[in-house]
Structure 1
């Protein structure tokens, strides 16, 4: 298996509510068939898919999907970009889990949960500057 993630699919309870949330963050949908909403990212895509359909596709009961102990990170090019993005997420309906603040390793981060509880980290990492296109690599470009 190659070392990459191509598509991240979030199981959501209400597709239109979830899509509206990400659109309020400034993301743009791409054309898709009914039943899935997709946003192209830099080198990947984020899909929104019904939790019930996701469980059915996997062949498991929806209760087995759980809530997942993971975060999705969105890195920004400057420390000053974290707080405004957190405020935009809150205005779109996110629940702020940790407001933007400096952290022990020298970065500046905040955490929010989207309307379905998927946790996002908004981070500025001075040790991993983004590429000119905004792509992230652990130790920068």
Structure 2
């Protein structure tokens, strides 16, 4: 009996993969605009960015994505999820939103004080995926800071 752990899937996420309409536009936005660095860049197929110690953001050409995963839902509106980037101060929230705006993010929703005690705003990347930039002073907010 020595191990109390139940066999199963580890509680972690390794990759977040987004289907993108224009990989070159995404490359320009994330690398040139936000100043991130590619971990793997296959023109016309995929751009991978190490976004954490054990997390990769994968921006995959929509045609390549659909060939492997299946037909994606299309239509108007915002994708039913958001990515988040937490920072240690309110001033950092404003600075990151300014960087996103300078990189061409549209829309950029200015940050404001949230009812849960934090401060956050949003921007959209070239495909409209929403990124929340947040200062979260609570314990869960501290867990995700480097």
TM-score, normalised relative to structure 2: 0.81
Q: Secondary structure at the match of 1:48?
A: strand
Consecutive unaligned residues of structure 2, counting only runs of 5 or more, are 1-8
2:114 corresponds to which of 88, 103, 120: 103
| Secondary structure of the corresponding residue to residue 80 of structure 2 | coil
Q: Deviations over 1:87-115 (max 9, x none)?
A: 11011111135211111111000011111
Residues 1:118 and 2:129 aligned together: yes
1:25 aligns with 2:62: no
Runs of 4 or more above 3 Å deviation: 31-34
Contact 2:20 2:60 in 1 (8 A): yes
How does 1:65-76 map onto structure 2 within 5 Å? 68-76=79-87
Q: Per-residue deviation at 1:55?
A: 1.2
> Could you tell me which residue of structure 2 aligns to residue 139 of structure 1?
none
C-alpha separation in 1, matches of 2:143 and 2:92: 13
Query: What RMSD in Å do the two structures reach over aligned CA positions?
Result: 1.8
Q: Are the counterparts in 2 of residues 55 and 65 from structure 1 also a CA contact under 8 Å?
A: no
Which entry has the higher C-alpha Rg, 1 or 2? 2
Alignment of 1:1-141 (within 5 A): 1-23=9-31, 24-34=33-43, 35-42=45-52, 43-60=54-71, 62=72, 64=73, 68-127=79-138, 128-129=141-142, 134-135=145-146
TM-score by length of 1: 0.84
Unmatched tracts of structure 1, length 5 or more: 136-141
The answer to whether the 8 Å contact 1:77/1:130 transfers is: no
